Amino acid sequence: MTSITAKGEPAPKEYFTGSVWVNMVVKPDDHLNSTIAKVTFEPKARTNWHSHPYGQILIVTDGIGYYQEKGKPIQIINTGDVVKIPVNVEHWHGASHESAMTHIAIVPTDQTGTVWLTPVTDIDYNKE
Amino acid sequence: MTSITAKGEPAPKEYFTGSVWVNMVVKPDDHLNSTIAKVTFEPKARTNWHSHPYGQILIVTDGIGYYQEKGKPIQIINTGDVVKIPVNVEHWHGASHESAMTHIAIVPTDQTGTVWLTPVTDIDYNKE
């Protein structure tokens, strides 16, 4: 039986800013048409801008974070929130300035295909 | 923003035994290639036997429960466990005798297609 309890491994530096941990619990080679990970962001840490050809769902399990779609204001996300990220929409997510944030990230495909873009600058991050 | 905090609505009696609540947070008409629900089972409550043409993933978020695949022994599942249910495998899940159990259930398709079978008898349930 797999467990989602552990923080996992450091996230790849090229796609994230700050300290981020990933526990990948469902992988493409599980053949379950999905990729599922718990991701823990320390305060101020965040993903790069990116998009998903099959969309993505985030379930916030701890802390306070930010979510932003390109061209829209930053939204504050809290424990229990479910974020539905439409197909091919550029966005980023991460912790807030003062609080860590953990979410379960569900990508409903067993193909990777995430389109990684540029880091979220401090100027953009500090707009919240 | 959707929230996963609420217990939701009573589950349909024809597919479940005992007291079960479902909070459906991602629905087929969200067009996210997935159906995601929080399901809360009171002690002794459980699904019918069933299978999924695209598989299913359970993430146990509270309590102690049971999971059984046809022809195998009942497995005890605890908070933090991730259950990977292969395509078309007959199985059931639910609470244990003394403790409620809550899981997030992820079905990686926006087509329903769950194949519902017979209830889990008390004789089969009491084998654990």
Q: Do B109 and A33 touch (CB under 8 A)?
A: yes
- Sort A5 into a burial class: Cβ within 10 Å, 0-12 / 13-18 / 19+: middle
Chain-chain contact of A4 with B77 (C-beta, under 8 angstroms): no
Stated length of chain B: 128
At A1 the pLDDT is 85
User: Would the pTM of this model clear 0.90, i.e. be above it?
Assistant: yes
User: In a 10 Å sphere around its CB, with 0-12 CB exposed, 13-18 middle and 19+ buried, how is residue A39 labelled?
Assistant: buried
B106 shares contact with chain A (CB less than 8 Å): yes
Q: Which residues in chain B touch residue A1, judged by CB atoms under 8 angstroms apart? A: 75, 77, 81-83
Q: What does the pLDDT look like over A81-114, one tens digit per residue?
A: 999 999 999 999 999 999 999 999 999 988 878 9
Best of A33, A51, A54, A89 to disrupt the B interface (most B CBs within 10 Å) is: A33
Contact in structure between A86 and A13 (CB atoms under 8 Å): no
Question: For chain B, where are the E strands, in sequence order?
Answer: 2-3, 9-10, 16-17, 20-26, 35-41, 46-47, 50-51, 56-69, 75-78, 81-85, 91-95, 101-107, 115-116
DSSP H/E element including A75: strand A75-78
Residue pLDDT tens, chain B, 128 long = 899 999 999 999 999 999 999 999 999 999 999 999 999 999 999 999 999 999 999 999 999 999 999 999 999 999 999 999 999 999 999 999 999 999 999 999 888 789 999 999 999 999 98
**Residue of B80, B102, B104, B75 whose CA lies nearest to B91:** B75
- Which residues of chain A fall short of a pLDDT of 70? none
Q: Flag whether residue B32 sits within 8 Å of chain A, measured between CB atoms.
A: yes
Can you list the domains of chain A with their CATH numbers? 16-125 (2.60.120.10)
Within an 8 Å CB–CB cutoff, is residue A69 touching chain B?
A: no
Asked if the C-beta of A33 comes within 8 angstroms of chain B's C-beta atoms, the answer is yes
Distance (Å, rounded) from C-alpha B67 to C-alpha B79?
13
Binary contact (B82, A54; C-beta < 8 A): no
**What was the pLDDT predicted at A114?**
92
- In the numeric block, the tokens 């974020």 are attached to A83
B58 at A interface, C-beta within 8 A: no
3-class secondary structure, B58: strand
Cα B21 from Cα B42, distance rounded (Å):
9
The b/e string for B39-62 (b: 16+ C-beta within 10 A; e otherwise) is bbbebbbbbbbbbbebbbbbbbbe
A75: nearest CA partner in chain B: B1
